[in-house]
Amino acid sequence: MTRLLVTNDDGIDSPGLHALALALQGRGLDVTIAAPVTQSSGSSASIMAENADGRIRVDKRTLDGLEEIPAFAVHGGPGLIALIAARGAFGDPSDLVASGVNHGANVGRAILHSGTVGAALTGGLNGAWGMAVSLDVGLDPTTFHWAAAADAAADLVPALLQHPRGTVINVNVPNASEFRGVVEAELAPFGIVQTTLTQQDEHDVRLAVEDLPRDPAPGSDAAHLAAGWITVSGLDPVSHVPLGIVADARAS
């Protein structure tokens, strides 16, 4: 049976996390939950943690409605959780790291900063399949279709497992009960939100998050998501790009 770690960056009590674990367990997968004890959004693949003497605190949890699934609240971010899971912190290393369902879309190259994506990439870097899942709730949601997003992600697992280990996908789901379908999409140049500096003085700066004022790039994950499609984008955890810098330096 495929062993699967479910984590996130919204914390152990997130309804998106619970929905994803339940959907994946319903597909016959061997699920373990390990998620941050507190909100860790924007942590990317950081492996920083609250620790004493090099020890990372892990608390066993029993989650309502998920009593049969082993669950751990970790005093650290999702990237760290995926890393220690690969080293056997929660039993045998997982075959698949599923991260989400995140509160808010993760599209475009700005996913570099996402803890949701960081966990999936860390899983891929350590030989597992990785899947980051996000729900496009916007900035002021009133309804959350967690179960629909989790089911859509779970439906993609068989196809993901047909690819080599280390394959990582980023999945974004419209906040709706029905979708136009699933489309593979390239990353937008940016994301769907931007940060702006709203305050700066001698000791402090303040950032605000707001919608991008322009339309997303045609054909991108952001554009397809806005049009009602579930988007799937393949990610490369770490790659080498030959530049020829040493040869150029010697020539000069």
**Span 9-24, pLDDT tens digits:** 999 999 999 999 999 9
Q: Where are the domains of the chain?
A: 3-190+217-251
Query: In angstroms, rounded to a whole number, what is the distance separating the alpha carbons of residues 203 and 20?
Result: 41
pLDDT in tens, 168-222: 999 999 999 999 999 999 999 875 555 555 555 656 666 555 555 467 889 999 9
Q: Which residue has the higher pLDDT, 40 or 61?
A: 61
pTM value is: 0.87
Does residue 97 have a cis bond before it (omega within 30 degrees)?
no
Record the tokens describing residue 169, joined without a space: 């996908």
User: 78-86 and 115-125 are packed helices; what angle lies between their axes, rounded to 10 degrees?
Assistant: 20
| CATH of the domain spanning 3-190+217-251 | 3.40.1210.10
